[in-house]
Amino acid sequence: MQHLSPEALERARRTILVSDVFAERAEEIVAAVSEVPDAHVLVVVVDGNHKFAGMHHVKTEELAVKVPPLEGDGGWTMVFSTGATPLSVRQRTDKMADLAQQRINAIERINARRSGA
């Protein structure tokens, strides 16, 4: 039986690294959120090389259209709205890393079962 995608496993591992990039910018993110106009959110981008790639004000109603091009090929985004605090940003990035680790664990368990290990 075929294993789950090695790319999915790698993406989850990289997501853990990227969560730190977002967390390191918590203060900047909170400062930028305070300048977001009404009916907008702040979209924070980390590129496929794990580098901070900017922050963008996006109309809430345009998220589905605007976010994919901002992510680019292999990037990550997080969306923040008014009221974000450094603590809440870090809690979300911690959760992002935790969920990625859970994906890694699940993929490894499934692959081990499929291998008969």
Residue 48 CB-density burial (10 A; 0-12 exposed, 13-18 middle, 19+ buried): middle
pLDDT at position 19: 99
End-to-end CA distance of the chain: 13
| pLDDT value of residue 43 | 99
Residues of the chain below pLDDT 50? 1
Query: Three-state SS for 1?
Result: coil
User: CA 52, 80, 8: angle at the middle one, nearest 5?
Assistant: 60
Identify the pLDDT of residue 1: 47
Both tokens of residue 55? 């922050």
- The reported pTM is 0.90
Q: What pLDDT is attached to residue 2? A: 55
Residues 6+ apart with CB under 8 A from 42: 29, 32, 33, 36, 55, 56, 57, 58, 79, 80, 81, 84
Please state, in angstroms and rounded to a whole number, the distance separating the CA atoms of residues 60 and 41: 6
- Note the pLDDT of residue 115: 82
Sheet holding 76-80, edge to edge: 52-59, 40-46, 76-80
Domain ranges of the chain: 6-111
Q: Are 12 and 101 in contact (CB under 8 A)?
A: yes
